[in-house]
Amino acid sequence: MATLCKPAVSVPEYVITMEETLDLARSRHADHPQLALALRLIGNTGVTRRHIVQPIEETLKHPGFEQRNERYEAEAKARVPAVVDEALGYAGLRPADIDMIVYVSCTGFMMPSLTAWLINTMGFPGHTRQIPIAQLGCAAGGAAVNRAHDFCTAYPDANVLIVACEFCSLCYQPTDLGVGSLLSNGLFGDAVAAAVVRGRGGTGIALERNSAYLVPDTEDWIAYSVRATGFHFLLDKRVPGTMEPLAPALRELAGDHGWDAGDLDFYIIHAGGPRILDDLSHFLEVPPESFRFSRSTLTEYGNIASAVVLDAVRRLFDEGGLPEGARGIMAGFGPGITAEMCLGRWTTAEPEHPRELAGARRIVGYAPRHPAPARTGAA
Contacting residues for 90 by C-beta, under 8 A, at least 6 apart? 5, 6, 7, 8, 195, 196
**What is residue 218's DSSP assignment?**
E
Helix 65-91 and helix 114-122, axial crossing angle in degrees, nearest 10:
50
> How far does Cα 222 stand from its chain's mean position?
16
**Do residues 275 and 240 make contact, with C-beta atoms less than 8 angstroms apart?**
yes
Q: What is the DSSP letter of 246?
A: H
Sign of CA dihedral 165, 321, 207, 4: positive
Per the CB < 8 A criterion, the answer to whether 232 and 176 are in contact is yes
> Which position among 138, 165, 168, 342 bears the catalytic label?
138
CB 36 within 8 A of CB 22: no
Q: What is the dihedral of CA 128, 133, 134, 136, to 10 degrees?
A: -170
Catalytic, 168? Answer: no
Q: Which amino acid is at 188?
A: F
Residues of 272-310 as b/e, b for ≥16 C-beta within 10 angstroms? bbbebbebbbebbebeeebbbbbbbbbbbbbbbbbbbbb
Q: H-helix or E-strand containing 100? A: strand 100-104
Contact 71, 110 (CB under 8 A): no
Cα separation, 217 vs 220, in Å, equals 8
Query: How many angstroms separate the CA atoms of 288 and 326, rounded?
Result: 19
CA 348-351-356 angle, to 5 degrees, is 175
Residues annotated as catalytic (active site), given as ranges: 138
